[in-house]
Structure 1
Amino acid sequence: MKLSSASTLSLAYFAYFAVLGVFVPYIGLFLDGRGLNSHDIGVLLAIVTGMRIVGPSLWAALAVRRRDPIGVMRFGAVLATLGWLCSFYQGGYWPLVAGLALYSLCWTAILPQLESAAFHYLDNDTSRYSKVRTAGSVGYIVLVMLGGWWFQHTGPQMLPHSALLFLMLMLATLWLLPKYRLEPQTDAQPLRFRTLWTHSSFVKFMLGAFFMQMSFAPFYGFFTLYTRDLGYSGSDAGLLIALAVAAEIVAFFYAGRILKGRSYQKLLGLCYGLTAVRWLMVAFVADSGWLLAASMLLHAFSFAIAHSCAMQFIQQFFPQHQRSRGQALYAGLIYGGGGAVGAYVAGVAWQDGAGSTFTFVLGAGCALLSMVLALSLPKKIQPAG
C-alpha cells in the first residue's frame, strides 16, 4: 500500500524523534553503564554536540549544490546509522567517541531537509504541517516512556538496540519519499557574517540563547543519573521527561496566541527567568516527586515559548532570502556551540554526582544571565541592514 506524502512525513518525524527520545534522556545512563566517569561523559557529549556547530550548514550547502534534499537526507541517514553501530562495540573510549561523533554529524543532515521537504509536499500549508510535525513529539514521548521501562528491565544495553530499530525505520521511510529538485535562487544575496556582529541586538540575542543552551546541559546529560541517585526508577524518569514534552506540545499549540500582540523581549526574559527557577527546583527540591514534576511543567516556557520567541527574532531580523542561513547559523552556534560548552562544563562540575547540586545551580546562573541579556534587547526587532 502506497502511503500519502503526509503519512510518510509523519512516519519520518515519528522515527526521527523516537531516536532522540531514546538517545537524549538515556545516553548518560548508557555511558555510566559502560564505566565512564562524569568527566569522560562530559567530554564525549561536548564532542558529539559540537558536531552540530558545522553539520547543519555543511549539509544545507550540499543540498543546495546538488539540488537534492531527499538524496542528502538519505546519505546522511545511512552514515548516521553506520556511526551508531559503534555503540555495540565495547572496544574502548575513543572508538565510541569517533562513532558517536560521526552519528551526530550526519544526523544533522536529516531534520533541516525534512522540514524543507514537508513544506514542499504540503504546499506550504502550515496547518497541515503542524499536524504532521506533532507525530515527532508523539514519537519522542512514547520512546521516553518505553525507554524508561525497557531500561529498568534490561539495563543500559537497551539504548543501542532501540535506537537502531528506529534508525532503520527512518531509513525505510526516507526511501518512500519521492525526490524533488531545489530551484536556484538567482536573486539571493550572500549572508555577510561580519556585518551581523555590528548589531548589538543580534549579539545580545545570540549570547542570551547561548547561555540558555548551556543551562540545559546538566539536564540533557545527567538528569536520568541524578534521578537514579535520588531513588527514582527508570520508569519514573521517563514519565518526568514525558511530562516536560507534553507541556512543550501544549505550549507550542498555543504559542501563536501567546506571542500575538505581546513583547518578544519581555516573554523571552520571562522564559529565561522561569528556567532559572526550574533548575533551582531540580537542585534543591528534587527529592519531592510532586515538586520535581512541577519543575518539568516549566519546560513549556524554558523551551517551547522561548524557542518560539527566538524563531520570531530570526524571522524578523534576517531578510527573507537569508532566513534559512540565519536558521543554520542559529542552530550551529546555539545548539552546537552552547550545547558543547555546556556539556563539557557540566561534565567537569558533576564529579560523579558529588557536584550535582552545584551543577544545576550553575545552570540557573546561566539562565539568569540570559534573562538579563533578553531584557536589554530593544522592544521591537530591528531587521539587519
Structure 2
Amino acid sequence: MRISPFTWMALSFFGYFCAYGVFVPFFPVWLKSLQYGEELIGLILALSYVFRFIGGIYFAALVKKAAHLPAGLRIFALLSALLMVIIGLSAQQIYLLLPVIMLFAMVNSVGIPLGDTLATTWQRQIGLDYGKVRLIGSAAFVVGVTLFGNAIGIFGEQNIVWILTALLFLYSLLQVPTPAILPADENHAAQSTGGFFSLLKDPVVLRLLIAASLIQGSHAVYYGYSVIYWTELGFSVQSTSLLWGLSVVAEILLFFFSTKLFKHWRVSALLYLSAAATCVRWLVFGYGESLWLIACFQTLHSLSYALCHYAVMRYITTRPQHTMVKLQGLYNGFATCAAVALFTALGGAIFALSPSAAFWTMAAVSASALLIIPPKIKGFLINQG
C-alpha cells in the first residue's frame, strides 16, 4: 500500500511520540514502583541520555542515502519494541536491567534524527510543511501522556513497561506502508564528505548547538522529576498527565501556526525568545503548588521546547542536504541527549535536597544560552509550499 509522504510522516511521528509521551514522564515512575531510589533513578536516566547521544550520532550516520530513511526508521522501531519486552522481563534484576535500558536508549534515539531528516528532506523536495506534520507528533505525545496516563492510574504503575511495549509495536506497524514519493538525494557535482568534526569547526554551528543544548538540556529536571514532584505535592497521576498534555497542546498550537507567525523571523531571534521564556518558566516552576498556576505556566512549553526545536529545524533545512543527517544527529545528540544527561545528573542531586532549587538551577542554565546564541542567523524557510 502506498500513501502520501505527509501521511507516512504523520503516522511515523504519531507512533514514535505516542510511545515517547508515556516513556518520558512515566518511565521514572515505573522505576520508582520497583522500589529504586531517586538517586539511582537519576543515574539510570542520565546514563540513558548519554547512550541516546551515542546511538543518535552513530546509528543515524549509518543511513547514507535519503531513500533509505523509511527503511531505517522501520528497523529501529522494531528493535525498540523488542528491547522494551526484555526490559519488562528484567525489571527486578538491576545488573541486567541497566544495560538493556542503555541499549534501548541507543536504538530508540535514532527515530528523532532520522524522522526529522526525512521530514526536512521532503520539505525541500516537495514542499512538505514541517510545522504541520510535526504537530502530529506533538498531538500523539498528548494522547500518550493523557490517555495512557489515565490507563496507568487504572492498571497500575507496574504495567507501564507493557503499555510502552504495545505502543512501540504499534509504532512499527504504522511505518509498514510505502511512501508514494521516496525521498531523493540532491544532485550535487561535488558533495563534501566531511564528518561531524568538520561541521563543528563552523563557529555558527557550534554556538547554535551549544545554545540549543542549554535550552533543551534545562528541561532535564522537568522530564525526570516533574511527575514525582507533583505527586509529592498531592496531585494524582491522572492530574499530572493532564498537566503534561496541556504543555504539549501549547506546543501543537505553535507548530500549527509556526509558518505564519515566524516566517520572517531570523533563527537567532527565535532562539533568543525561546531562551528567555525557558528561564521564566523554570523560575516560577519551583513556586507552583496550585494546580491552576502550574497549568498556566505549562503553556510556556510552546516557547521553551517547541520554539527552540523549530528554530534549529529551520536552520538545518537551509543547509546543504548532504550535511542534514549529520546536523540532525549532532542536534539530537548534544541538545536532547548529552545535555539532558548532564543536567539530569546535576538536577537529580539538587532535587534530592530542594526541588525548587533544582528548577532555579535550570533557569540559570537556560539564561546562559542568551550569551551564546549566534546573533545573525537568518535561516528563512525554503519551499514553504
1:230 Cα deviation after fit: 0.7
SS in 1 for 2:240: helix
Relative distance call for 1:269 and 1:61 in structure 2 (3 A) is: closer
Equivalent-residue separation in structure 2 for 1:178 and 1:313 (angstroms): 26
Distance 1:9 1:320 in 2: 18
Moved more, 362-371 or 155-164: 155-164
Deviates more, 1:166-175 or 1:289-298: 166-175
**Distance apart, 1:63 and its partner CA:** 2.2
- Asked if residue 293 in structure 1 is aligned to residue 295 in structure 2, the reply is yes
Equivalence for 1:311: 313
Q: Quick check: 166-175 or 121-130, which moved more?
A: 121-130
Give the whole-Å Cα distance in 2 for the aligned partners of 1:198 and 1:173.
39
SS at match of 1:68: helix
1:246 maps to 249
Residue 11 of structure 1 is matched in structure 2 by 11
In the alignment, the residues of structure 2 paired with residue 323 and residue 66 of structure 1 have an alpha-carbon distance, to the nearest angstrom, of 10
Structure 1 residue 24: Cα displacement: 0.8
Aligned to 2:372: 373
Partner of 1:27: 27
Compared CA separation, residues 192 and 92, structure 1 to 2 (3 A): closer
In the TM superposition, what is the alpha-carbon distance from 1:155 to its structure 2 partner? 2.2
Q: 164-173 vs 59-68, which deviates more?
A: 59-68
> Corresponding residue for 1:153?
154
CA distance in 1 between counterparts of 2:286 and 2:36 reads 23
Give the aligned residue type for 1:311: M
**Which residue is 1:261 aligned to?**
264
CA distance in 2, matches of 1:103, 1:344: 19
Q: Secondary structure at the match of 2:289?
A: coil
- Superposed displacement of residue 117, structure 1: 5.1
Whole-Å Cα distance in 2 between the matches of residues 271 and 175 of structure 1?
36
Task: Report the 3-state secondary structure (helix = DSSP H, G, I; strand = E; otherwise coil) of the residue aligned with 2:191.
Answer: coil
TM-score w.r.t. structure 1 length? Answer: 0.87
For structure 2, the residue ranges without an aligned partner over 5 or more in a row are 380-385
Partner Cα separation in structure 1 for residue 354 and residue 205 of structure 2:
34
The equivalent of 1:96 in structure 2 is 97
CA distances 1:249-286 after superposition (whole Å, capped 9, x unpaired): 111122223333334334322221111111121111x1
State the shift of 1:129 in Å. 5.8
Q: Is this contact kept in 2: 1:218–1:343, CA < 8 A?
A: yes
Q: Distance in 2 between the 1:172 and 1:205 partners?
A: 36
Assess, with a 3 A threshold, how the Cα gap between structure 1 residues 59 and 230 changes in structure 2: closer, same or farther: same
Contact conserved, 2:134 with 2:255, CA < 8 A, in 1? no
Kept in 1: contact 2:118–2:183 (CA 8 A): no
Contact preservation (8 Å) 2:218, 2:343 = yes
Residues 315 and 9 (structure 1), Cα distance of their counterparts in 2 relative to 1, 3 Å cut: closer
Match of 1:46 in 2: 46
Q: Structure 1: which 5+ runs fail to align?
A: none
Give the AA of the match of 2:332: A
In the alignment of these two chains, the number of paired residues is: 375
Q: Give CA-to-partner distance per residue, 1:165-221, whole Å, 9 cap, x none.
A: 111112222333369696696731123554555544443322222222221100000
Q: Distance in 1 between matches of 2:58 and 2:134?
A: 24
1:135 aligns with 136
- Paired residue secondary structure (1:157): helix
Match of 1:261, SS state, is coil
Q: How does 1:302-341 map to 2 (within 5 A)?
A: 302-316=304-318, 318-341=319-342
SS of 2:234 mapped into structure 1: coil
For the 8 Å contact 2:66–2:118, the answer to whether it is kept is no
Moved more, 121-130 or 41-50: 121-130
Q: Secondary structure at the match of 2:86?
A: helix
CA distance in 1, matches of 2:269, 2:119: 32
TM-fit CA distance, 1:119: 6.9
Deviation at 1:49, TM superposition (A): 1.2
Q: 1:3 to 1:367 in 2, by over 3 A?
A: same
Q: Which residue is 2:383 aligned to?
A: none
Deviation at 1:362, TM superposition (A): 0.9
Given the superposition, is the C-alpha separation of residues 4 and 119 from structure 1 closer, same or farther in structure 2, using an over 3 Å criterion?
A: farther
Which residue number in structure 2 is paired with residue 222 of structure 1? 225
What residue identity is the alignment partner of 1:364?
A
SS in 2 for 1:64: coil
Counterpart residue type for residue 365 of structure 2: C
Closer/same/farther in 2, CA of residues 369 and 247 from structure 1, 3 Å limit: same
Partner of 1:81: 81
Q: Which moved more, 1:52-61 or 1:213-222?
A: 52-61
**1-side partners of 2:321 and 2:132: how far apart?**
25
Partner Cα distance (2:82, 2:220) in 1: 26
Q: Indicate conservation of the 8 Å contact 2:125/2:184, yes or no.
A: no
Contact 1:283 1:358 in 2 (8 A): yes
The 1:199/1:172 distance shift into structure 2, 3 A limit, reads closer
2:233–2:289 Cα contact (<8 Å) kept: yes
Separation in structure 2 between the aligned mates of residue 120 and residue 381 of structure 1, nearest angstrom: 19
Deviation at 1:349, TM superposition (A): 1.9
Structure 2 CA distance for partners of 1:154 and 1:380, relative to 1, 3 Å: closer
Aligned partners of 1:242 and 1:269: how far apart in 2?
25
Aligned partner of 2:106 in structure 1 is 105
SS at 2:376 equivalent: coil
1:143 partner letter: G
- Segment of structure 1 superposing worse, 289-298 or 128-137: 128-137
Between the two proteins, what is the percent identity of the paired residues? 26
Cα distance change, pair 169–336 in 1 and its aligned pair in 2 (3 A):
same
SS at match of 1:250: helix
Question: What is the CA–CA distance in structure 2 between the aligned matches of 1:55 and 1:230, rounded to whole Å?
Answer: 36
